[in-house]
Each structure stands twice: as structure tokens, then as C-alpha cells.
Amino acid sequence: MRTVEPKILYFGTPVALISSLNEDNSTNLSPISSFWALGWTMTLGLLNDAKLAENLARHGECVVNLPAPSMWQMVEKLAPLTGRDPVPELKSKQFKTEKDKFAAAGFSRLDSELVRPMRAAECPIQMEARVLSLHEMGGTKLAELGGGLVAVVEILRVHACEEFLKDGSDHINPNKWSPLVYNFRHYYDLSDTELGKTFRA
């Protein structure tokens, strides 16, 4: 074993596209991978300089859209874009402002049922949510990236594409569903090899 100092600690987490409400009531769409769920409560890790952080602080609603692995190139089209205008200093060399992220990446807008930000129609799972709280994260390495926030959100409604459901039930079929996984800035799907299941599955 060696002591190492990797630049990032992205050990492979699913990608979500978060819909949030811009000040003109249009919907912004931001890729994130720092998120997880406990029950129907979810944490989202947001860089301070993202339009997403600004939008959630102003309007506490969002949609957590989960893209399929086949959509990785659409996600990658969003990667160099920000809803911020002008582009924040730290991002100015690599990013450009884009008002219509849906069109830029080839996603269609779909009205949500309980919140104002719109859903990304092509994503097979879409979760409408409201913000419960926002917390500063702290930490020196994160400060070098401009700092970050945790948004704790509560999922209000889950929409799932029929093909990923176990017949006629509300259960997502893990043999059919795979998230798009972000693994040290490379995109993966889950391998087909199931290792086993937990006693409560």
C-alpha cells in the first residue's frame, strides 16, 4: 500500500441530470454524480459556482433525472456547459454559457406533476423533489474548486419507464436497469454479472 493524493475521489457513482428552475422560469439541466439516497431522502453535492446551486437556493424544487448508459454522449454534451452568465472565473477556460441545455444535448422537456422544473423526457427514471435543507460542506480541497453545498431533498414522485419494472409491480428490476456510472471521470455501465443479493432483496 502507498499513501497517494489522487486529484479526485470519484470511485464510481451514478450520474443524475438535475432539473432546476432559472430566474426566468426556464429549466436548467446539470449533470452531477455526487448523490445518494436513504429512503426517499436524497443528498446532492453541488459546487458553489454551478447555476444549479444558485437555482436551488432561490427555488427549492428540482427533478433528479437518471440517464441510461446509452445516453453518455448526450450527458457529455452537457459537461462543458453552464447556465451561469457570465461563466465563473474558475471555469472560464473550459466552459461556456448555454441557456437551452435540453436542446444542446438532445433532451426533450416534459412537464412535472408536482414541481415547476421540467423533466428530461428521455431519462428512464425521473424523480420530482423538494429541497429540505442546504449545508456548506467545507474542506480545503473542495475550497480549491470554489467550495460546495449539500442539498438534502425529499423525493415526492418517481416516474419509471415500464421496461425497467418487474411485471406489473412498483419494483425496479435490477437485471434490466443499469445506471450510467461516473468512474474517475470515465463513463461505464454496470457489468451484467450479478454477484448476489442482500437478504432483504
Ligand X SMILES: Cc1cc2nc3c(=O)[nH]c(=O)nc-3n(C[C@H](O)[C@H](O)[C@H](O)COP(=O)(O)O)c2cc1C
All cell numbers assigned to 80: 462543458
Between 31 and 117, CB nearer to ligand X: 31
Between 15 and 112, CB nearer to ligand X: 15
Between 92 and 173, CB nearer to ligand X: 92
Between 32 and 118, CB nearer to ligand X: 32
Q: How far is the CB of 46 from ligand X (least distance, A)?
A: 4
Residue 14 contacts ligand X per CB under 6 A: no
Q: How far is the CB of 168 from ligand X (least distance, A)?
A: 34
CA distances, 60 to each of 20, 50, 71, 189, 201 (Å): 9, 15, 27, 31, 33
Give CA–CA dist 86/89, Å, rounded.
9
Answer for the pair 69, 184: CB distance below 8 angstroms, yes or no: no
Element of type H or E holding 21: strand 16-21
Binding site residues, ligand X, CB under 6 A: 15, 28, 30-34, 45-47, 50-52, 75, 79, 82-84, 95, 182
